[in-house]
Amino acid sequence: MSQPRVVVLDHGSGNLRSAERALSAAGADTVISDDPGAAFAADGLVVPGVGAFATCMAGLRGVLGHQVIGRRLAGGRPVLGICVGMQVLFEEGNEHGVRTEGCGEWPGLVQQLSAPVLPHMGWNTVSVPAGSTLFTGVEQERFYFVHSYAVRRFDLQPAPPLTPPLVTWSEHGERFVAAVENGPLSATQFHPEKSGAAGARLLANWVGSL
């Protein structure tokens, strides 16, 4: 069986090389590219991101990434967002009172966590819902986070027969969304490529589902 082709989208913001290496180790034929055609045609698309929501979103629009994500999802083609690459999938980000429109694939607002220490940096546990594919075999493990902003509520509850998204939560000062699995669209607030054996297993789970 051939390896699934995965594109790590180069939009100017993200741990591209570390994500590429981790996905290759997880069994994917991985390439970094800013080409919309390649990003659309791949078996799986990974959207990384670090830094500010607005900067990440501007870079994403610069390579038509928001359009590619929408087209892929309309056709049921898998997308995985990581860190700020997860945050931009939501409707809106609010940084220092400045609001920036996101991709709008999920309802929700990305805002600063209310916590005694920011950024939230280091290993943390997660609360995984039953039926998760991403977290199979690592439900009780810790993952590596580096962020100050997050989504505090997840209100998407589609009417039957559509299946509600599986939402994984974590806590730092308050509860926040740590991961979402929603049909072909998945995302993690933490960095699986920096999360040791647990992160490697999670990426292998995603690659294996392609």
Give me the CATH number covering residue 108: 3.40.50.880
Q: What is the pTM of this model?
A: 0.96
Residue 1 has pLDDT above 70, yes or no: no
Rounded CA gap, 86 and 181, in Å? 11
Residue 160 has pLDDT above 90, yes or no: no
Residue 28 has pLDDT above 90, yes or no: yes
Q: Which domain holds residue 33?
A: 5-208
How does pLDDT run across 123-157, given as a tens digit for each residue?
A: 999 999 999 999 999 999 999 999 999 999 998 77
Rounded CA gap, 150 and 210, in Å? 27
User: What is the reported pLDDT for 157?
Assistant: 74
Q: Which two tokens stand for residue 14?
A: 């993200």
Domain count, the chain: 1
CB 17 within 8 A of CB 194: no
User: What is the reported pLDDT for 191?
Assistant: 98
Residue 161 has pLDDT above 80, yes or no: no
CB 91 within 8 A of CB 106: yes
Residue 76 has pLDDT above 70, yes or no: yes
End-to-end CA gap in the chain: 12
From residue 146, alpha-carbon distances to 55, 59, 119, 135, 174 in Å are: 17, 20, 6, 19, 15
Rounded CA gap, 174 and 171, in Å? 5
Active site residues: 83, 191, 193
Residue 117 has pLDDT above 80, yes or no: yes
Residue 159 has pLDDT above 80, yes or no: no
